[in-house]
Amino acid sequence: MHRRAEARQRQPLRPPVSSRDNSAWLRPLARLPGSEGAVPGLIGQTRCYAVTYGADRQRAGQDGGCRRGTEEAGAAPAPARLAPPGSVLTLVPVSPQGLGRLLQLRSGIHGSAPAAVQVNVRDALNQALDEELERDERVFLLGEEVAQYDGAYKISRGLWKKYGDKRIIDTPISEMGFTGIAVGAAMAGLRPICEFMTFNFSMQAIDQVINSASKTLYMSAGMVPVPVVFRGPNGASAGVGAQHSQCFAAWYGHCPGLKVVSPWSSEDAKGLLKASVRDDNPVVMLENELMYGVPFEMSEAAQSKDFLVPIGKAKIERQGTHVTLVSHSRSVGHCLEAAAVLVKEGVECEVINLRTIRPMDVESIEASVVKTNHLITVEGGWPQFGVGAEICARIMEGPAFNYLDAPAVRLTGADVPMPYAKILEENCLPQVKDIIFAVKKILNI
């Protein structure tokens, strides 16, 4: 939007001193986005605005036109523009109060509706860190460049200035060292959050994550909990090469003693991180670098400091009846895009966002398969011994197997180290077109 247009919209709308033209003060509305030309009214003065909203407004996120009714005495009325079928016509009286109501309608703000806002995943994670640091003085963050530099991905922006060196700690480039510090601090009663610049580097600290963190509670007969969170970007990014692109969901999901979460949306990120910090078990939080800057609508409930996403519970992002698509992290968005295309062809896909890899919410997947009779798993990890393979095995071993009308299908990353070239990288990961093809194949259409 041009700066001048922004300035005009910010100007207060006040009636003019002169009473000759009592509609002049409403003229700025003609410059509002989506406003249309004048439509003849019933009398010679501007009396009301007709605001039309399409029946699919909430789905498409767009409103209809805003029309001013004026007519000179004796003038021939111009042809009226008809609202599309299914539209709702709202007549707003011309008054300051009516104008306020009009602006409320145009912006989609209603008194009874929740005050949702757009928040990207980066800011959602930052909010979660800030709220948990403020809530519990035992919580602290450590990792490479998390303090003065605000984090490699700016997740910890502003936290060092607010909480200081003792709670936002820059570390040397030694994953084994600072991960061991985090695990030891957790054993001593603190609640550390250990950030890896990428989970590929967690391999440098695998002994601390597995042998020290995940096994201690069991080996101590439940006497020594290890409430530590290991978090950072996981999986493919964009042209960063094989050593920075691996998905570790199956690796860590294989290990008893760990909880493993994988957020997709801003609400997922905030709620899962807060729940992970409060959990008494070591939690691995697998984020995705490409999702950090993606905005999502965050509900009024999710904006609360008490908002948590329960670990171990999946979310049905889209209801459907023909096929179940199960995914996690960035691939959830691909599934929703594919479902939006397929619905135009009469295919209703149910999309399940796992949110948690371990413990997996098998019950939600089974309930969906019983309804749709078809199952497709989508992930960015390698095909052998992956998350999708585990889901298919659990369905085969459970009661939902008898409801399948076709074999379950897995869509995974290619069974090769991630190439550097962009086109090769894209071909190594499931894309929307691949999901559409798999759905049509499993449904035999």
Cβ atoms of 314 and 352 closer than 8 Å: yes
- Looking up residue 346, the CATH number of its domain turns out to be 3.40.50.920
Kindly report, residue by residue over 310-345, the tens digit of the pLDDT.
999 999 999 999 999 999 999 999 999 999 999 999
Q: Are residues 358 and 412 in the same domain?
A: yes
Q: Are residues 254 and 344 in the same domain?
A: no
Range of the domain at 62: 13-107
Q: Are residues 339 and 229 in the same domain?
A: no
Q: Are residues 70 and 194 in the same domain?
A: no
- Strand bridging mode 315-318 / 117-120: unpaired
Which of residues 87, 107, 127 is at a domain's end? 107
Cβ atoms of 392 and 426 closer than 8 Å: no
Q: Are residues 45 and 75 in the same domain?
A: yes
Cβ atoms of 261 and 311 closer than 8 Å: yes
**Structural domain includes residue 278:** yes
Residues of the chain with pLDDT under 70: 1-114
Instruction: Outline where 289-379 has alpha helix (H).
Output: 331-342, 362-372
Q: What span, in angstroms and rounded, lies between the C-alpha atoms of 217 and 332? A: 33
Cβ atoms of 269 and 90 closer than 8 Å: no
| Three-class DSSP labels, 384-440 | CCCHHHHHHHHHHHCHHHHHCCCCCEEECCCCCCCCCCHHHHHHCCCCHHHHHHHHH
The per-residue DSSP string of 329-352 comes to TTHHHHHHHHHHHHGGGT--EEEE
List the 315-318 sheet strands across, edge first: 315-318, 349-353, 323-327, 375-378, 409-411
- Looking up residue 293, the CATH number of its domain turns out to be 3.40.50.970
Q: Are residues 298 and 322 in the same domain?
A: no
Q: Are residues 48 and 89 in the same domain?
A: yes
**Structural domain includes residue 234:** yes
**Structural domain includes residue 309:** no
Which residue type does 90 have?
T
Kindly report, residue by residue over 281-309, the tens digit of the pLDDT.
999 999 999 999 999 999 999 999 999 99
Q: Which residues are the active-site residues?
A: 175, 244
**What are the Cα distances from residue 335, in Å, to 69, 73, 216, 389?**
45, 58, 38, 18
Instruction: Provide the pLDDT for residue 114.
Output: 59
Instruction: Provide the pLDDT for residue 116.
Output: 86
Q: Are residues 384 and 415 in the same domain?
A: yes
| φ/ψ of residue 155, rounded to 5 | -70, -35
Q: What span, in angstroms and rounded, lies between the C-alpha atoms of 330 and 263? A: 8
Kindly report, residue by residue over 195-223, the tens digit of the pLDDT.
999 999 999 999 999 999 999 999 999 99
**Structural domain includes residue 4:** no
**Structural domain includes residue 3:** no
Q: What span, in angstroms and rounded, lies between the C-alpha atoms of 132 and 229? A: 12
Q: What span, in angstroms and rounded, lies between the C-alpha atoms of 279 and 258? A: 11
Which residue type does 243 have?
Q
**Structural domain includes residue 310:** no
**Structural domain includes residue 5:** no
Q: Are residues 152 and 257 in the same domain?
A: yes
**Structural domain includes residue 210:** yes
Q: Are residues 344 and 405 in the same domain?
A: yes
Helical (H) or strand (E) element with 192: strand 191-195
For the beta carbon of residue 106, count every other beta carbon within 10 angstroms.
19
Which of residues 303, 330, 349 is at a domain's end? 303
Q: Are residues 380 and 274 in the same domain?
A: no
Q: Per the structure, how many domains does the chain have?
A: 3
Q: Are residues 258 and 292 in the same domain?
A: yes
Q: What span, in angstroms and rounded, lies between the C-alpha atoms of 439 and 315? A: 20
Which of residues 274, 303, 332 is at a domain's end? 303
